[in-house]
Structure 1
């Protein structure tokens, strides 16, 4: 048996950051464009913009990305330091979650799985 889970961060009872939004932030960082990031993820520009807009509103007063319109050399979208912190923190949490659940993987039945859970619980209580 294997145990699987998904990770997301909520803020003010709203979905703030999950794997998809983190990937979108990473692609914006690489491309400097919401449009290019959306195309890479096979999503509409509107869906990508809405996702970033929600995240930025939840991140007030420190937006995750900043857009500069106008078509000049300074136009485009860039990740802010807060956006990079969001990516780094999410990836660290994801690695920790994966390590945690990998300990549970391979249990032959619910008895063994329950035993592993109990051992983990005791370790956490004693640390």
Structure 2
């Protein structure tokens, strides 16, 4: 999916797939949409709407773009030819034992501190 340059225009902002559509192979689309909803609500609670929209995008864009990039990489790895598929199927059981789950924790252990005030941009 193409990158959306600006998520906000006047009194409207994009959220979820409208702002940051993740590949279905990432398994993260609904999760990052829910995270974005919580962050937007927190920003709207604490800041005037124009500042809230800017803060929301600044908070969310790095994380969602990282997830989208990872999904694109996963998609390109899934298009192996017959020889690549055979090699993948031979190597995958061993590779899965070597994966460090802590290396991928950033995707699944994301925490939003609801009680923390959304920061005003300077």
Relative to the length of structure 2, the TM-score reads 0.38
Higher strand share: 1
Higher relative contact order (CA 8 A, sep 6+): 2
Relative to the length of structure 1, the TM-score reads 0.37
Q: Which has the larger radius of gyration?
A: 1
Higher helix share: 2
